[in-house]
Amino acid sequence: MIDDRSARQGVHLRVVGVSDSKSLVVASDVFTKEFNDNLLSEICRLKAGHSSLSTLIGGFGGNPLILYC
């Protein structure tokens, strides 16, 4: 999906949160903010390595995140 977004095919997916079995990560303001491609890539990398989203605590790349465990 990230590759499709980069191709500028006229589709914009706005991701404001993701979860796994132990954590929920949400943008700090779901009305005005969204996850950028770098953060989505990091989430995919973490999950491919079987890591929990809780490892994102404290934010990523200047993106303030709210983590619910």
More confident residue, 2 or 49: 49
pLDDT at residue number 11: 76
Residue 26 has pLDDT above 50, yes or no: yes
**Helix extents (H) in 1-69:** 2-6, 37-48
Q: Which DSSP category does 28 fall into?
A: S
Q: Quick one: CA torsion of 38, 33, 51, 55, rounded to 10 degrees?
A: 100
- What is the pLDDT at residue 69? 47
Only one residue has tokens 């993106």, namely 63
The answer, yes or no, to whether residue 6 has pLDDT greater than 60, is no
Of 42, 21, 5, 45, the closest CA to residue 65 belongs to: 42
